[in-house]
Structure 1
Amino acid sequence: MTPAPTLCTARLVLRGPEKRDLAAFTAWATRSARMETVGGAVSERDAWRGFIAGIGHWNWHGYGFFTVTEKETGVATGRVGVLNHIEWPQPEMAWHMFDGFEGKSYAFEAACAVREWAGRTLGLEPLISLIAPSNTRSLSLATRLGATEERRDVIDGENVIVMRHLAHDNPRATAQAAGAIS
């Protein structure tokens, strides 16, 4: 469905979105309490539109959200990827884990792989993440990845902290990727 490559880490497979991922995405988008930090829960109709837009993003830009799956089970655990929506200041590395898959370092592992791929393959260095000030989990993950606060801004009508990530070839990023990528 998308031109997305497949990336593998020690525990995960990152691939383009497929029809079978819609149910897990819809459950997250319509019911997860964590949606409050990304604009609030949406309707099933809006979830479907968001899912389809994600497929279009891959076709338009050549990058987008990967579906993150467990290597052993094939279960979709979340999405991590590179986005560049209209009026975005530049490409953003973004992530969200579906309910029940937080706290396993899946987002960290997948983000290391995406940062490496985006830098080495696409030349998109260094990426940013746009994070709501109240999203402490995402801020912690960005910091763990080595990102630093660059500025505060209003993007798409939302207050965000712009976190600047390490370049993929930064020694810390290289060490992180070596531990994550199989």
Structure 2
Amino acid sequence: MPSYDIITLTTARLTLRPQVMADFPAYAAFLSSSRAVGVGGPMDERSAWGLFCHDLAQWPLLGHGALMIDLTATGACIGQVGINHGPPFPEKELGWLLYAGHEGQGYATEAAAALRDWAFSALALPTLVSYMTPTNTASAQVARRLGGVLDATAPRMDIADLVYRYRPPAHC
């Protein structure tokens, strides 16, 4: 049975926390920008709202979902990380996004590693995947740093997507 509790995780620099309504304007702004092409964007506000609600609704329905990424030192929200599933996703997907100006500092890798490790431990998942467009080289680098291996045979939402697969450590 899915958990109805939304977790909070912390790392050396980050707090991964449940989303709140105040997060929507920055989230919608990201999704309306050209930076959102890797997650199905750019999107209008209505579509962004649907995805924002999907991110939250997964917690009571599936026992996992999205968390906002805050810099612990300042409290600034810099993006989102999530375990996605449901009809849009053929498999449970580890996904991330960072708002402009926060790339290249290891935040996506740090946040995604924390959520990946939680998912393998708490949910006992046998595998996770990350979907990305072939041109999203920054996300591909994050996936490789996380131990992801290209899986050419994985089901995918878009035939052109790359799929990186993660397996739990042997001790999980």
Q: Superposed, which structure 2 residues align to 1:29-108 within 5 Å? A: 29-31=31-33, 33-86=34-87, 88-108=89-109
1:131 paired residue number: 132
Shift of residue 157 of structure 1? 4.0
1:4 paired residue number: 6
Shift of residue 11 of structure 1? 0.4
3-state SS in 1 of match to 2:74: coil
Instruction: Report the TM-score when normalising by structure 1.
Output: 0.85
Q: 1:25 to 1:158 in 2, by over 3 A?
A: farther
Q: 1:120 to 1:153 in 2, by over 3 A?
A: closer
Distance in 2 (alpha carbons) for counterparts of 1:67 and 1:22? 11
**Equivalent residue pairs, number:** 169
Distance in 2 (alpha carbons) for counterparts of 1:34 and 1:105? 18
Q: Superposed, which structure 2 residues align to 1:112-127 within 5 Å? A: 112-127=113-128
1:179 paired residue number: none
Shift of residue 17 of structure 1? 1.0
Per-residue CA deviations over 1:111-140 (Å, capped at 9, x if unaligned) read: 110111001111113211111111111111
3-state SS in 1 of match to 2:12: coil
Shift of residue 104 of structure 1? 1.2
Ranges of 4+ aligned residues in structure 1 off by more than 4 Å: none
3-state SS in 1 of match to 2:151: strand
Distance in 1 (alpha carbons) for counterparts of 2:85 and 2:50? 17
3-state SS in 2 of match to 1:128: strand
Distance in 1 (alpha carbons) for counterparts of 2:147 and 2:161? 18
Shift of residue 49 of structure 1? 1.7
Shift of residue 166 of structure 1? 3.6
- Aligned equivalent of 2:19, options 17, 20, 25: 17
Shift of residue 170 of structure 1? 4.8
User: How much identity, in percent, do the aligned residues show?
Assistant: 34
Distance in 2 (alpha carbons) for counterparts of 1:82 and 1:50? 13
- 5+ residue gaps in structure 1? 175-182
Q: 1:112 to 1:157 in 2, by over 3 A?
A: closer
Distance in 2 (alpha carbons) for counterparts of 1:90 and 1:154? 8
Structure (1 or 2) with the greater helix fraction: 1
- 5+ residue gaps in structure 2? none
